[in-house]
Structure 1
Amino acid sequence: MKKEKANFLQIIRNFTQSQPFKLRFAFILTSVVVILAFNATSEWNFLESLYYDSVAVMEGDEVRITSEYLEEMSLSNKTDVLCDFRSARSDFCEIKDFTQIIGHSSILNYYSPFTNRSLQAHKSFKIKPHPRKHDKIALAHVKEISIEPVSFNQTPPHCTMMHIAPAIVFSTGGYTGNMFHDFTDVLIPLFITSFPFHGQVHFLIGEMQPWWIKKYRPFLEELTQYELINLNKVRRGLCYSHAIVGLQFHKEMSIDPKKTDSKYSMVNFAQIMRKSFGLERENATMLGIHNGNKPRLLIISRKKTRSFTNVKEVIKMASNLGYQVLVQEPNSRSKLRKFAHIVNSCDVLMGVHGAGLTNLVFLPSNAVVIQIVPLGELEKLSKEYFGIPALDMNLKYLQYNISIEESTLIEKYPKDHVVFQDPSSIRRKGWAALRSTYLVNQNVKLDVTRFSYTLLEALKLLHHYQ
């Protein structure tokens, strides 16, 4: 069978080489669409070799563009560069043309047969490829990428490798290391940008940290079938037929299917996340059907800020309601795969607003997320960061807003203090004041009787989900 396949592929190669350039190139591009549609990855290397034959030839360790390709480009006399700078969170450029990327110089050249006059009419662009566009602190150590038009006729490209599969250039700088930012700033935008390519896409990563790559490698390998490239160490040209600089951002910790061509969503993201870490449970326990199985409740614990001061009382109350209770504290030293399996084994996850709730991405469908919101007028922000993403992932969501008596701030301030009566005045002082008052210096002592009604509501949701 392998011999027959090899003979067939050789016939295809001979056929394409005997055809006029336009027909040959059209055949290759059509094949790209078919391979992407059916995810026929085993034939991709063969198709790339046909592309090389049509567009370029290797001379030593560099690439020379074929005269046929240059002639075809000169007849078209156009290039296809689409940039979108309208988003408040991310800049994005897509170059559907021959590109050369020199990572250590932070330069991307896109090539076309420009004349001197037409070359001047084409714009250069500069992008920091990380979705925190106006955050100067986050972008301080993210290198800017210069996207420059170059004429084939004036400066022939030098490439050490050439690929028909596109490249996505992005940065893992910013606030990565904080799990929430790992997902909302990088992993979800990367999924949005790369998913349509079904793995046939190269990742060129700026500010690449080995520990970060190791942590999320299982997921990254679901998105690309190629080796990850450290952009800052690319000292000679890498060439692509199609390149994207920057990542698409829709909303915090989530995807807007209306903005995607294939209508994919956070449900797809969660499925791939579960697959990449080998998580077996697709659905939460449906109570009343599984013959006495207790629902598992995971309490996300925090030791330093926004911690529970009476967690033992909460455990006792939840156990009396019929829960099997686990208490875990995720941190940077936690083995992500191990922690993901713990989360996936649970039916209800609860925790105070914070990065630990990002672990909801590992829950089975129809599980329940309970977010405890501390004082400080944080209700809207909390729902945006974790409530809406939970619902978008086909999870159930309950929000518990604590009372003044459940905040440890009551031990520091009288009830008539502005901290309780006018949180907006604290907010107007800026993020630092809000963070210090409500996020750093506030812990939570749950009223177990009041909170028990929320846990009972979670049980009802597990009884009735569809």
Structure 2
Amino acid sequence: MQYHDIFARSFSQHDRKRVGYGALVNCLIVVCCLCVVFKSYPGPSYVLRLRMMILEELESVIITDTTRELVRPYVETKERKLVCNTMKRRSDTCQMTGDIRIHGNSSTIFVSTSDTINSSWTIKPYARKGDKGAMQNITSFTIQTIQEQAETMPKCTKTHNVPAVVFSIGGYSGNHFHAFSDTIMPLYTASRKFNREVRFLVADKKPLWASKFQEILDKLSKYEVIDIDHENEVHCFPSMILGLEKDDKKELNTDSIHNFRNFLRSSYSLERSTAIKLTNGSTRKPRLLIVSRKRTRTFTNVKDVVTTARAMGFEVIVTEMSANLKQTSRLVNSCDVMMGVHGAGLTNIVFMPENGVFIQVVPLGNMEWMAKTFYGEPAKGMGLSYLEYKVSKEESTLTDQYPLNHSVFDDPYSIQRQGWEAYRSTYMDKQDVKLDVVRFKETLTKALELLR
């Protein structure tokens, strides 16, 4: 929905609010002008930030306050409302209240309105909209506003008295990291306020996805998931959220990661909220989980690592991450330190007890940004201590495939410029790690210190 459309509706219905909004906007403009007048010209970056600040304030005034008095629970409000936000970098979302009807086979949502002019929007409900590869197979939903009592409004064949959340599990949802970062965490944020009184309508459904995350879905909704793509029914709801909103700057994150981790502990009945606290009289050994990989980015000398860790006082477990989250969550939660080579299996740090230590082994290939963004910063936000071990040239099996003066080692950017497929093939699919156990012992020593 365009800003001027929303404002035009508010203008006619809420004269008092119009005056207040105008005053607020004018004050903002005056303040900004005074700042420019009394300070020397600060350059284009400051002007850009200034414009963004004004736009954000305008957005909060014009978009978010579209109701008369939003103090009552959603089930008591009788007004009709449709608010779409397509300004986010990662996600497009719409929120609707009133007479909402959705026809699955045509991917069309009908919204009854008192407006005399019908309008429509198209939304792809997956939270990675800037990624063409992710979005190309996501179902597009059309939102069609229709005048009240119009004959073109389809008749309800199934009526629900709870809200609906419509989202896609296409894109990269088959990847464990993206399943959490793009879907599960945003879904938790969108639906937790309903206290399980909400219906999930899923597009682009994958057969194993719902079963994999069944415990989480059951905690968020008491109703069976509807595979909306294959529904020829017209489902009617009092309100609906289309699309899941994701943080534009952070991965593997929610607005309250602490509450989300408590929610996971409850969903999977996890016993430990905090890791072991080592003292001089401690009798229990700290548990180290080594995340093993069989196909790519494997530890080729894992036995040496295990021997060294045990000699330092660790109880060591080596395992691949299972798709059975009930088992995986309990295993990870039972450990105090978790280590592994950069990859999707590290997403399971969400199950670690707080104050635990997470060690990410970063292979060659300028992966530092990905390592930090995908797992390093999120780990810190979860209350974990984060250690990063960067692999040297001698510890990478790429030395068995390329001469030491090859651009693979000296100029990784030249590989990146060839595109993602070339980069992934070289650094992610062909590379294994042989840890220098003497050097890595320093990292394990730091982990022990952090547990004290």
**Same-fold status (TM-score > 0.5):** yes
| Aligned-partner Cα distance in 1 for 2:254–2:133 | 27
1:423 to partner: Cα distance: 0.8
Q: TM-score, normalised by structure 2?
A: 0.80
Per the alignment, residue 182 of structure 1 pairs with 179
| Aligned-partner Cα distance in 2 for 1:211–1:344 | 24
1:136 to partner: Cα distance: 3.2
For 1:217-232, list aligned pairs within 5 A. Answer: 217-232=214-229
Per the alignment, residue 267 of structure 1 pairs with 258
State the one-letter code of the partner of 1:241.
P
| Aligned-partner Cα distance in 2 for 1:198–1:383 | 34
| Aligned-partner Cα distance in 1 for 2:208–2:294 | 24
SS in 2 for 1:330: coil
1:454 to partner: Cα distance: 0.6
SS in 2 for 1:138: helix
State the one-letter code of the partner of 1:32.
P
Alpha carbons 1:371, 1:399 under 8 Å: kept: yes
Alpha carbons 2:197, 2:222 under 8 Å: kept: yes
| Aligned-partner Cα distance in 2 for 1:376–1:354 | 14
For 1:75-224, list aligned pairs within 5 A. Answer: 79-115=80-116, 118-119=117-118, 123-155=119-151, 156-224=153-221
| Aligned-partner Cα distance in 1 for 2:289–2:250 | 23
1:274 to partner: Cα distance: 1.6
1:236 to partner: Cα distance: 1.9
Per the alignment, residue 354 of structure 1 pairs with 343
State the one-letter code of the partner of 1:455.
L
Per the alignment, residue 23 of structure 1 pairs with none
Alpha carbons 1:283, 1:365 under 8 Å: kept: yes
Pair 1:32-2:73 in alignment: yes
For 1:333-344, list aligned pairs within 5 A. Answer: 334-344=323-333
1:88 to partner: Cα distance: 2.4
Alpha carbons 1:113, 1:153 under 8 Å: kept: no
| Aligned-partner Cα distance in 2 for 1:289–1:114 | 73
For 1:400-411, list aligned pairs within 5 A. Answer: 400-411=389-400
1:245 to partner: Cα distance: 0.8
Alpha carbons 2:186, 2:245 under 8 Å: kept: yes
| Aligned-partner Cα distance in 1 for 2:441–2:124 | 47
| Aligned-partner Cα distance in 2 for 1:95–1:217 | 27
| Aligned-partner Cα distance in 2 for 1:173–1:438 | 26
Per the alignment, residue 260 of structure 1 pairs with none
1:412 to partner: Cα distance: 2.0
1:192 to partner: Cα distance: 2.0
| Aligned-partner Cα distance in 1 for 2:378–2:167 | 23
1:142 to partner: Cα distance: 2.1
* C-alpha distance after superposition, 1:123-151 (max 9, x if no partner): 31111111121333333332110011111
1:30 to partner: Cα distance: 6.8
| Aligned-partner Cα distance in 2 for 1:106–1:134 | 22
1:378 to partner: Cα distance: 0.5
State the one-letter code of the partner of 2:142.
S
Once superposed, which parts of structure 1, at least 4 consecutive aligned residues long, lie more than 6 Å away?
Answer: none
- Give aligned-pair identity as a percent: 43
Alpha carbons 1:254, 1:392 under 8 Å: kept: no
| Aligned-partner Cα distance in 1 for 2:250–2:399 | 31
* C-alpha distance after superposition, 1:214-271 (max 9, x if no partner): 11010111112222211113222211222111110114543353xxxxxxx1111111
Name whichever of 151-160 and 209-218 sits farther off. 151-160
SS in 2 for 1:273: helix
Unaligned runs of 5+ in 2: 1-66
1:31 to partner: Cα distance: 6.5
State the one-letter code of the partner of 2:82.
V
Alpha carbons 1:353, 1:371 under 8 Å: kept: yes
* C-alpha distance after superposition, 1:11-42 (max 9, x if no partner): xxxxxxxxxxxxxxx9xx97736xxxxxxxxx
For 1:277-356, list aligned pairs within 5 A. Answer: 277-288=268-279, 291-331=282-322, 334-356=323-345
Alpha carbons 1:318, 1:325 under 8 Å: kept: yes
Alpha carbons 2:276, 2:451 under 8 Å: kept: yes
1:396 to partner: Cα distance: 1.3
| Aligned-partner Cα distance in 2 for 1:400–1:350 | 10
Q: TM-score, normalised by structure 1?
A: 0.78
